[in-house]
Chain A
Amino acid sequence: GENVEQHPSTLSVQEGDSAVIKCTYSDSASNYFPWYKQELGKRPQLIIDIRSNVGEKKDQRIAVTLNKTAKHFSLHITETQPEDSAVYFCAASISGTSYGKLTFGQGTILTVHP
Chain B
Amino acid sequence: AAGVIQSPRHLIKEKRETATLKCYPIPRHDTVYWYQQGPGQDPQFLISFYEKMQSDKGSIPDRFSAQQFSDYHSELNMSSLELGDSALYFCASSFSGLGGDEQFFGPGTRLTVL
Partner-B contacts on A (CB < 8 A): 32, 34, 41-46, 49, 51, 89, 93, 95-107
Q: Would A104 and B42 count as touching, CB distance under 8 A? A: yes
**B108: Cβ under 8 A from any A Cβ:** yes
Number of A-B contacts (CB under 8 A): 65
Q: Chain B residues in contact with chain A, CB under 8 A? A: 31, 33, 35, 41-45, 48, 50, 55-56, 58, 88, 90, 92, 94, 96, 100-103, 105-108, 110
| Chain A: CB-nearest residue to B58 | A101
- State how many angstroms separate the Cβ of A8 from the closest Cβ of chain B: 15
> Cβ of B43 and Cβ of A89 under 8 Å apart?
yes
9 sampled A-B residue pairs with Cβ under 8 A: A34-B103, A43-B107, A51-B101, A95-B100, A95-B101, A98-B96, A100-B101, A102-B43, A104-B44
Q: Which residue of A lies closest to B3 (CB)?
A: A43
Q: How far is the CB of A64 from chain B (nearest CB, A)?
A: 14
Q: Report the bound CA distance from A93 to B101 in whole Å.
A: 9
- Across the interface, which residues of B come within 8 angstroms of A102, CB to CB? 33, 35, 43, 45, 92, 103
